[in-house]
Amino acid sequence: MAEEQAKKPAGATGAAKADAKPAAKKEKPPALEDKPFREFMEQHYLPALKADLGDRGVDDLELALTCEPMPIAGMADAGEVWQAIGRWNGGDREFRIYFPKEDINGSKGFSCTEKGAATSTLESFMIDERKASLDLMVVCLVKRLRAQKWIERN
């Protein structure tokens, strides 16, 4: 019997192992960015943005997600678009990020205004980014507000 055991090839331990299936891999939960647009924006992006700007001293920030015409001269005819709107400093500072499609990876625009002035310029936003992530969207807006000299003097 000892001779039979010695003649078996290495790794052959019987039928039980031959029938065993590899353990199933656990499925990863979907990425935050793969969630539906409104869910991602309301539950993840706006809270992350509020926390980040709060850490930078913006303590009276009001954020909203809405779908309405753009408040820019000549753009009202374009119809309603999704907008992430932020106001602070007693409402004196306002920025908007526009999403013409209900998609964070689609084209985006940016505008800002101070002290109730009419918004006059629509700027492209995150045009070089192929895939938007939560962190990237927050960082890009913070950089844009820093360039406006609204936060963290540069």
pLDDT in tens, 81-136: 999 999 998 889 999 999 999 999 999 999 999 988 888 788 999 988 889 999 99
Average pLDDT of the segment spanning 3-28? 59
The torsion defined by the Cα of 39, 43, 45 and 50, in degrees rounded to 10, comes to 150
Q: What pTM does this model have?
A: 0.76
- Residue 143's pLDDT band, with cuts at 50, 70 and 90, is very high
Residues 69 and 78 sit within 8 Å (Cβ to Cβ) = yes
Beta strand 80-88 with 62-69: parallel, antiparallel or unpaired?
antiparallel
CB 105 within 8 A of CB 124: no
* 34-86 pLDDT, tens digit each: 899 999 999 999 999 999 999 998 989 999 999 998 888 777 777 899 999 99
State both tokens at 83. Answer: 């907008």
Q: What are phi and psi of 125, to 5 degrees?
A: -140, 130
Sign, CA torsion 51/55/61/67: negative
Task: Show me where the domains of the chain are located.
Answer: 32-147
Exposure string (b/e) for 10-48, b if CB count within 10 Å is 16 or more? eeeeeeeeeeeeeeeeeeeeeebbeeebeebbeebbbee
